Amino acid sequence: MIYHVAKKGNDRNCGNQQEPFLTINHAAQLAQPGDAIFVHEGNYRERVDPKFSGLSDNQRITYQAVPGDHVVIKGSEVVTNWVQIRSGIWQAEVNNQVFGKDNPFQLRLQGDWLEQSNDRHTGDLYLNGQSFYEAASFDEMAAGEERDQATEYVTNITLKMADVGQTAYKWYAEAGAQTTTIFANFHSFNPNHELVEMSVRPCCFYPSKPRINFIAVIGFEMCQAATPWAPPTSEQIGLIGPHWSKGWVIKRNRLHDAKCSAISIGAPVLADENAFSNRHDRPGYQYQIERVFRAQQFGWDKASVGSHLIYGNQIYNCGQSGIVGNLGGIFSRVVKNHIYNIGTKYEFGGWEISAIKLHAAIDVEIVHNQIDHCVLGTWLDWQAQGTMVMRNFYHHNVRDFLIEVCHGPFLVADNIFASKRSIDEYAQGGAFVNNLIMGRTTIQSVLNRATPYHIPHQTAIKGYAMVYGGDDRYFNNIFIGDADPELNNGTNLYNGSPISMQDYVAAVEQRLPGDVEMFETVRQPVHINHNVYLNGAIPFMNEVHYLKDDRFDLHCEITRTEDEVRLTIHLPASFDQFRGQVQTTASLGRVRLAEADFENVTGDPLYLNRDYFNKLNECDGQTIPGPFKQLKSGENVIVVWCDKG
């Protein structure tokens, strides 16, 4: 069955092309496996709450914008009848019935690991599509000062953000029992002559119950949802999300202006929501580990949840995450998305802010995405086992990549890390192969939190452990140093680590008798070879085959035209004679704790002989270091992202 939805329609119609429905959600209450819902041009101010599941990849329920039509699902409503109370300052009174169950101008952001809520609410105000800033008081809203050199809290960094000359359009609300009064500083605009919208609904496309499987959502714009803070110890509600289901396809959508998160592939309500921040009786870590075990009782396995495809979306202007998830994103693929301007409004701060923030990304593939101008590019937290981060382009972020309290195996290959801080690894058991690393790298052990690891390619828990640091592999990477010693990079942080399991065991045996305490003082073995170190980047002390060239005045730059992004990099003459070795499952070896091999998510052996563009990069077992087979001495100009491609 094919249903049609159009702004000229009526929900009493039969839903065909001649007599379409008026609302998408009405069609969503009827559609059965194999049905398709085509939505025609227009703004749809509603929440789509699918009632029925598809049955399989071949019997989905598909929601699709008609090709060529601009279809927008908004979590907002228009605000009219503004009254001016002084120069630039206006107010509007809104009946609370428009908000339904929860008033986002009364509902404050709250939850675990939200370190600085700044008393912000889930609601927001928009002038001609541009979001305002929330003020803490009427006087702050009315002052209308420019945002200039404000110190902001960002994950675990405090930094100065130069935002010179941006006029502060602010709102402030007072919510009563029957009405809510919104005050706003519109400066020179008359809001009665402009489009002014307020976020009303917590999401745009999200089932109210879990296990609504095999849904496809294609070609929409969705925006302006009052999404709540989404830590891993809560139901993570996004602007769109499957809500603990299996086999969704979220494809070629434009998703933006979620107060917190755009796409959620997280957990359902599993009791004790935000228990740490509500009780302060146990660490949030303790509640999170209990949540992992509770999820297994709720059907956390490959047959029941995950295996989603998030493909070709534009995701931007969100306060917390472009894609967020805990447990429910297992076995999923995140491919060819452009994610930008995440967390950069700096209205609130916490430990869950990242363009992609995933807990338990078991066998998840994050491939060929562009992630830029974000507080953090990708953050893998807990149980990133079998995870593959490949052929991604990170640039102009505060930080590019963070992986925390995971035990591997995880693969990071053929990526471009072009921000000042490239890789922060508070984990173990990783393989970093053929990357271009232009910013600072750090490693750190974590000896106060034990996290689970799994039977390979399953959710079944095999054990849990602390992060001792090491058990890593670095092959065929290009490191580019920086004049600032605090931003220097390379593999020298592993100096003092053993280079074989035999050496590691020997170091442990020297500390006998004992047990747990011995392992806290012995570095795990590392495997580092065939890397390139330029502009002061520093190699591992026991690396045998490497290229180091500090004499060359390296020029490296990211530039953007109207529809493409280019990398320009100058390499020294010595680069042409240096080669790396193709890495495989056999050469990468087995991680120590999980006793698991580096494999494809299918369980098949890895053979890493293709570059960023998926082109063959091998000659007799050798490979050109870095993510591009065409790299050579002198100037290289490479189109690394094309919006039309």
Of the candidates 57, 56, 43, 50, the one whose C-alpha atom is nearest the C-alpha of residue 27 is 50
Contacts of 462 (CB under 8 A, 6+ apart): 452, 453, 454, 455, 594
The whole-number average pLDDT for the span 598-618 is 97
Mean pLDDT across the chain: 93
Given a contact cutoff of 8 angstroms between Cβ atoms, the answer to whether 315 and 220 are in contact is no
CB atoms inside a 10 Å sphere around CB 170: 22
Residue type, 164: V
| Structural domains present in the chain | 77-199 (2.60.40.1180), 215-552+580-620 (2.160.20.10)
Residues 133 and 347: their CA atoms lie apart, in Å, by: 7
At 265-283, the pLDDT tens digits run: 998 888 789 999 999 999 9
As a whole-number percent, the residues of the chain with pLDDT over 70 amount to 96
At 323-372, the pLDDT tens digits run: 999 999 999 999 999 999 999 999 999 999 999 999 999 999 999 999 99
β-pairing, 196-199 vs 179-185, is unpaired
Q: Both tokens of residue 298?
A: 């709720």
Residues 454 and 293: their CA atoms lie apart, in Å, by: 12
Residues 610 and 236: their CA atoms lie apart, in Å, by: 36
Residues 51 and 33: their CA atoms lie apart, in Å, by: 11
Given a contact cutoff of 8 angstroms between Cβ atoms, the answer to whether 375 and 395 are in contact is no
- What pLDDT band is residue 145 in, cutting at 50, 70 and 90? low
Q: What is the side-by-side order of every strand in the sheet holding 564-571? A: 556-560, 564-571, 634-642
Residue 483 pLDDT: 77
- What pLDDT band is residue 645 in, cutting at 50, 70 and 90? low
Residue type, 602: T
Residue 90 pLDDT: 98
Residues 378 and 375: their CA atoms lie apart, in Å, by: 10
At 535-567, the pLDDT tens digits run: 999 999 999 999 999 876 677 899 998 889 999
CB atoms inside a 10 Å sphere around CB 60: 22
Q: Both tokens of residue 151?
A: 């110190």
The position carrying tokens 């580019």 is: 480
Q: How many CA atoms lie within 13 A of 216 on its CB side?
A: 22
Is the pLDDT assigned to residue 309 strictly greater than 50?
Answer: yes
Tell me whether residue 602 is exposed, middle or buried, using C-beta atoms within 10 angstroms of its C-beta: 0 to 12, 13 to 18, 19 or more: exposed
- What pLDDT band is residue 518 in, cutting at 50, 70 and 90? confident
- What pLDDT band is residue 151 in, cutting at 50, 70 and 90? very low
Residue 482 pLDDT: 84
At 436-491, the pLDDT tens digits run: 999 999 999 999 999 999 999 999 999 999 999 899 999 999 999 987 777 778 99
| pTM of the entire predicted model | 0.96
At 381-406, the pLDDT tens digits run: 999 999 999 999 999 999 999 999 99
